[in-house]
Amino acid sequence: MKELCWYFPSSMDEVSTLLKKRGVIPYGGGTGILKTGLNRVEGLIDLSCLPIHFFRRDNNDRYNGSSYGRIEIGATQTFAEVTEQLGQGHILGCALGKSASTPLRNRITVGGSMALFPAWSDLMGPLIALEAEVTLAGEQQGTYPITHYLTERGLRKQTLITGISFPDTTWSFQYFRHTRTHFDYPAFTISLLLKKDGEKVSDLRVVVVGCSGKYKRLHQVEESLIGRLGEEIESISVSRIPFTGKKFMSSEYLEHCAQVELERRLLALLKGEIFHG
């Protein structure tokens, strides 16, 4: 087995310098290395001494002209820690509580999982629906919308995710993961967020993860339902969501399942049902 050089920085300036070294990568929970291997890795940056292990809830913030707080999560927070902080009544807590196994939830970090973004991610759907923002350090610094981070590859070069944040507001939600067995990677996930003004839909977020292109936010579906009376909606038209075939599942099968489940979950949510599946 080849020798690896370990680095133990205590400041973000040190991290920025280390990220420029060839073959040197961040090390948080280590689960990503189990998947990708060490073939191209020459050194590991241990993140445990950096000030990026936190969970903060600011209830006195004003953001974008609206009065509500924000939730901030440090990059080295594990799935288990976030689940404990948010609980099953929050879409992110619900999703991460269903992800992987207990030992893995105790190791997988938010920052590492976001950087790798596997096709079976239980993290990214809720974050995209929540319109989260990502804070970066290294070659690229600053805070960016999560979709901007995902589409701009240059933001990931020699850069470390230090945290994420999103508005601390109340949503009705449904989270669905399509699996063959309970202990299985999801072939796709559906994240739905809903707000109503009385019986009228005032805001809606619809995100599918695991499809072609990794994820898709269905703006057309959102726009078609906002402003309508939720109790009066009897059917929903969802356009085709393209998929790439996976082991034991054809693209046609996945497309059909995603369309059926999405219509079913949306109708249930509009009628006031909450599903944690």
pLDDT tens figures, 186-214? 999 999 999 999 989 999 999 999 999 99
Place of tokens 């230090």: 162
Looking only at the bridges linking them, the beta strands covering 5-7 and 43-46 are parallel
Longest Cα separation, the chain: 64
User: Which is nearest to 12 in space by CA: 75, 92, 80?
Assistant: 75
- Examine the domain organization and report whether 261 and 246 are in the same domain: yes
- Examine the domain organization and report whether 66 and 154 are in the same domain: yes
- Examine the domain organization and report whether 156 and 72 are in the same domain: yes
- Examine the domain organization and report whether 155 and 116 are in the same domain: yes
User: Which is nearest to 206 in space by CA: 214, 274, 198, 215?
Assistant: 215
Q: Are 72 and 58 in contact (CB under 8 A)?
A: yes
For position 105, which CATH number holds? 3.30.465.10
Tell whether 221 is covered by a domain: yes
Tell whether 155 is covered by a domain: yes
The number of folded domains in the chain is 3
Q: Which residues contact 49 (CB under 8 A, 6 or more apart)?
A: 8, 9, 10
Average pLDDT over residues 100-114: 94
Place of tokens 């990220």: 19
Average pLDDT over residues 166-170: 95
Q: Are 39 and 1 in contact (CB under 8 A)?
A: no
Instruction: Single out the residue in 168, 189, 224 at which a domain terminates.
Output: 168
Tell whether 101 is covered by a domain: yes
Q: According to the model, what pLDDT value does residue 65 have?
A: 52
Q: Are 128 and 215 in contact (CB under 8 A)?
A: yes
- Examine the domain organization and report whether 140 and 77 are in the same domain: yes
Instruction: Single out the residue in 130, 146, 168 at which a domain terminates.
Output: 168
- Examine the domain organization and report whether 227 and 241 are in the same domain: yes
Q: Are 242 and 255 in contact (CB under 8 A)?
A: yes
Angle at Cα 82 formed by Cα 78 and Cα 84, nearest 5°?
115
Domain that holds residue 243: 172-270
Q: Which residues contact 118 (CB under 8 A, 6 or more apart)?
A: 35, 185
Average pLDDT over residues 207-222: 96
Looking only at the bridges linking them, the beta strands covering 133-138 and 159-168 are antiparallel
- Examine the domain organization and report whether 66 and 27 are in the same domain: no
What is the average pLDDT score of the chain? 91
- Examine the domain organization and report whether 67 and 153 are in the same domain: yes
Task: Please say if the pLDDT value at position 2 is more than 80.
Answer: no
Looking only at the bridges linking them, the beta strands covering 69-74 and 159-168 are antiparallel
Tell whether 275 is covered by a domain: no
Place of tokens 């619900």: 94
Q: According to the model, what pLDDT value does residue 277 have?
A: 45
Tell whether 276 is covered by a domain: no
- Examine the domain organization and report whether 17 and 112 are in the same domain: no
User: Which is nearest to 26 in space by CA: 88, 63, 76?
Assistant: 76
Amino acid code (one letter) for 121: S
